[in-house]
Structure 1
Amino acid sequence: MYVSETLGQFGARFPTQPISPSVLHHAKRAVVDWYAALIAGYPMHPTPLLEAAMADDLDRGPARLALGRPATVKAAALIQGTASHTAEVDDIFKHAIYHPGAPTISAALAVGQQVDATGREFLQAVIVGYEISTRIGQILGRAHYQYWHNTGTVGTFGAAAAAACLLHLDATQFTHALCTSATFAAGLQQAFQMDSMSKPLHSGRAAEAGVAAALMARQGITGSLDVLEGKMGMGVAMGNAPDWAPVLADLGKAFNITEMTFKNHACCGHTFAPIDGALELQRTHGFTPAEIAHIEVATYGPALAVAGNPAPRTAAEARFSIPYVVSTALRCGSVRLAAFDAAQLHHPDTRALMEKVSLTVHPDLDRQFPGQRAAQVTIRLHSGQTLRFLQPTRKGDPDMPLTDADLQSKLEELATATLGAERLQAISSRLWQLETAPDLHFL
């Protein structure tokens, strides 16, 4: 049996299986976090431009965009998959170097609204999408991430699996949805090595492509069953020809949705350990930015490749700049959305502090990636004192998780200005009780 077939059988069978209260609760946490990211990113470019570009597919159709505008299913998946990845506050499955929520939940909501799914059916689809895509992403791993943006590639499987679940595809159809997804998967790392709007579009395109693959499979369109492990398949073409057996080892027994990282800073996740380490040194020793002579950040290689920009010019570039976010954190005490406003982006004190930052690859920490995301931060003061701290993980990682209260606060911080306190309270209350919701029309 091919890997795709085993995954397809799992996905088709899952709605008939019992779900533990813990897994169900973690799925709700993922949806709450996704909704916060969606509302935060909705007014930010490229989302309004994308909405304008997709005008022919709006004001009609069974799905609804974040603020209530009708849309076709694929347009809703594309736009909301983009919006929820735009503000860089969406979730992470660190072992796959992948943001599953934006493509998976965006697709699930669009299809769920089309088929009038209940809240529980929606959560089942989210769990299936996370499980299948994170396992594929974990196998593709670091070799894939060298050139490909995993959220654009792996996210296509998450979207397809969630959509297939809600469309009640049988095992054969489900399998072919996944196989077609593999050949739809795309998203290049180079697309965000400089200022561009491409990165969030990867997530939106993954959501749209996954939905399309599931709709095609429902009509009988087939894919190549060996598309993952074949001699010219995804593993060879887009990775290092990995062994696919581990993807199936504990399928249906362990659930990756219980091991998510939820972001505590509004920027690239590779910057989090440096931010947390710098803030811990400042909290412990009480120095001011003016007292700093030099900052050294030693971390894993991909963090510097993706987020090592020493002189970002735009907000998009600044979100991928360890020197910028660490300097901002030390000056402001946090890295929230306001950290990327024009006044903050070019603040002379931040820019002066950035000149004092050096970045190096720490060999031990590099070997631990992607399973561990650590950074060693060394700060030398003008007094001559040298302070050093090893940040072993990131706040928000599974071993240092955000609480439900933290997630609710994040939702309120990111969504209140757009939705208003009263509307947000009504929506968030229903999100935390999704398993009892009769439909998804409140979203």
Structure 2
Amino acid sequence: MHATEVFGAYAESFEKQTLPHEVLHHAKRAVVDWYAALYSGLSTPPLAQLSTILEEDIGRGSATLPDGRHASARTAALFNGTAAHAAEVDDSFKDAMYHPGAATIAAALAVAQARKRSGSDFLRSVILGYEISTRIGVVLGRAHYKYWHNTGTVGAFGAAAAAGLGFGLSRIQFAHALATVGTFSAGLQQAFRMDSMSKPLHAGRAAEAGVFAADMARHGTTGSLDILDGDAGFGRAMSDGPDWSGVGSTLGEIFNITRLTFKNHIGCGHAFPAIDATLALMAEHHLQASDIRTVSVATYGPALDIACYAQPRTENEARFSIPFVIATAILHGSVRQAAYSSGRLADAEMRAMMARVTAVVDPELDLAFPKQRSARVEIETMDGRRHVWLQKDRKGDPELPLSDRELEGKFRELVAPVIGNREAGDLLARIWSLDSVIAM
């Protein structure tokens, strides 16, 4: 069977599979984090522009936007998927170099609302989208990630899988949905190698493409079932011709959704191990900003490729700047929403601290990527002392996970300022009890 057919067969059996409580709980954690990302992204420029562009499409349909307005499933998936990636706080699956939640959950929710699916059905769609797309991302590997933005490319498959289950596709329809969405899959890393608003749209378009492909398959549209593993397929065109033969070997046995990373800082996740290491050194040695002469960061290659701005000029560039986030951690003790306020970038003390930060690739740490995201930070003090910290994993990785309480804290921090404390608490309670929700 082709990879799409392997996934179609699994989707057919997955509908009847009894899911472990742990898996369902991790799916709810993913939804909690997705809503935190969704609401924090609403104030970013692309969302205001997108709302204007979609004006003719909003106000009709059975899916909803965060402000309660109705929309078609495709429009809601596009809008919500974009919002959930816009503030750079969404989840990731590190082995696939991929943010699965933004597109997958946006598509699952849009179809669940449009089809009046239960909360349990919605969770099941989310899980399937994660399980299939993360495995595709793992097979594509680092060769794909060199040029492509996996959240846009791999995310389209996650969205199609989630939407396909929500639409109740048959085994062969499901395979065709994946086959069709493979031809829509896109998103170049160059889109965020200079200041740009395009990056979150990758997630939105992936969510929209997934819903569209699944709906087309529901109405009989067929695709090339060898889209992933064919001679001119996805693997050869957009990676290094990887082996797809084992792509489904652990489906139903290992659930990747239980091994997510939830961001403990705000910004590019590749910079997070360096932030963690810096904060650890500051705490362990009771350092103040005035004590620091230099900060040397050694990490893996893609961290420098993507968090590449040495002298950020805009808020968006600051999110992808190792010197900026390290200086923020030193001067302010955390890298959260306030880090990107308008005054921070122009602050003279901030600029002076950024000038003391350098970053290089460590070959050993680079070799461990993507399974491990590590950084070694050395701080030299004004009196000549040198302190070193190796951060093997990021806080929030499955090896150092956020607790439910910490995840709820992140949710409240990002959601309550937008909808209010009481409403945020009600939404959080609804997510934790999705099993009992009759219709989304």
TM bucket normalised to smaller: over 0.9
Matches within 5 A, 1:103-142: 103-142=103-142
Counterpart in the other structure of 1:18 = 18
**Cα deviation digits, residues 249-271 of structure 1 (max 9, x gap):** 21111110000000001101001
Counterpart in the other structure of 2:311 = 311
TM-score, normalization by structure 2: 0.99
Determine whether 1:205 maps to 2:205.
yes
Q: 1:46 is paired with a residue of what secondary structure?
A: helix
Contact 1:308 1:359 in 2 (8 A): no
**Cα deviation digits, residues 303-350 of structure 1 (max 9, x gap):** 000002100101111000011001101110000011001111222111
- CA distance in 1: counterparts of 2:254 and 2:153, whole angstroms: 23
**Cα deviation digits, residues 83-105 of structure 1 (max 9, x gap):** 00001000000000000000000
Q: 1:246 is paired with a residue of what secondary structure?
A: coil
Matches within 5 A, 1:272-283: 272-283=272-283
Q: 2:141 is paired with a residue of what secondary structure?
A: helix
Contact 1:12 1:168 in 2 (8 A): no
Contact 1:33 1:411 in 2 (8 A): yes
5+ residue gaps, structure 2: none
- Structure 1 letter corresponding to 2:287: F
Contact 1:266 1:336 in 2 (8 A): yes
**Cα deviation digits, residues 390-430 of structure 1 (max 9, x gap):** 00100000000000001111110001011111111111101
Counterpart in the other structure of 1:395 = 395
Shift of 1:81: 0.2
- CA distance in 1: counterparts of 2:167 and 2:131, whole angstroms: 17
- CA distance in 1: counterparts of 2:45 and 2:72, whole angstroms: 21
Contact 1:307 1:321 in 2 (8 A): yes
Determine whether 1:356 maps to 2:346.
no
Contact 2:129 2:159 in 1 (8 A): yes
- CA distance in 1: counterparts of 2:56 and 2:12, whole angstroms: 33
Shift of 1:13: 2.3
Shift of 1:8: 1.1
| Range with greater deviation from structure 2 (243-252 or 296-305) | 243-252
**Cα deviation digits, residues 188-225 of structure 1 (max 9, x gap):** 00000011110000000000000000000001111101
- Structure 2 letter corresponding to 1:343: G
Determine whether 1:176 maps to 2:176.
yes
Counterpart in the other structure of 1:67 = 67
Contact 1:92 1:99 in 2 (8 A): yes
- Structure 2 letter corresponding to 1:230: G
Q: 1:310 is paired with a residue of what secondary structure?
A: coil
Aligned residues: 440
Shift of 1:289: 1.2
| Range with greater deviation from structure 2 (415-424 or 21-30) | 415-424
Counterpart in the other structure of 1:57 = 57
Determine whether 1:8 maps to 2:18.
no
- Structure 1 letter corresponding to 2:83: A
Counterpart in the other structure of 2:186 = 186
5+ residue gaps, structure 1: none
Counterpart in the other structure of 2:232 = 232
- Structure 1 letter corresponding to 2:422: E
Counterpart in the other structure of 1:161 = 161
- CA distance in 2: counterparts of 1:246 and 1:405, whole angstroms: 37
- CA distance in 1: counterparts of 2:425 and 2:356, whole angstroms: 43
Counterpart in the other structure of 2:144 = 144
Q: 1:388 is paired with a residue of what secondary structure?
A: strand
- CA distance in 1: counterparts of 2:73 and 2:159, whole angstroms: 12
- Structure 2 letter corresponding to 1:155: G
**Cα deviation digits, residues 46-72 of structure 1 (max 9, x gap):** 111101111111011111101101111
**Cα deviation digits, residues 339-371 of structure 1 (max 9, x gap):** 001111222111101101111100100000000
- Structure 1 letter corresponding to 2:425: Q
Counterpart in the other structure of 2:253 = 253
- CA distance in 2: counterparts of 1:372 and 1:428, whole angstroms: 31
Counterpart in the other structure of 1:95 = 95
- CA distance in 1: counterparts of 2:286 and 2:214, whole angstroms: 55
TM-align CA RMSD:
0.7
| Range with greater deviation from structure 2 (344-353 or 160-169) | 344-353
TM-score, normalization by structure 1: 0.99
Shift of 1:240: 0.7
Counterpart in the other structure of 1:424 = 424
Contact 1:235 1:241 in 2 (8 A): yes
Q: 2:246 is paired with a residue of what secondary structure?
A: helix
- CA distance in 2: counterparts of 1:323 and 1:90, whole angstroms: 22
- Structure 2 letter corresponding to 1:113: Q
Q: 2:61 is paired with a residue of what secondary structure?
A: strand
Q: 2:379 is paired with a residue of what secondary structure?
A: strand
- CA distance in 1: counterparts of 2:185 and 2:170, whole angstroms: 22
- Structure 2 letter corresponding to 1:426: D
- Structure 1 letter corresponding to 2:406: D
- Structure 2 letter corresponding to 1:204: G
Share of identical aligned residues, percent?
A: 53
Contact 2:78 2:208 in 1 (8 A): yes
Contact 1:308 1:323 in 2 (8 A): no
- CA distance in 1: counterparts of 2:65 and 2:44, whole angstroms: 15
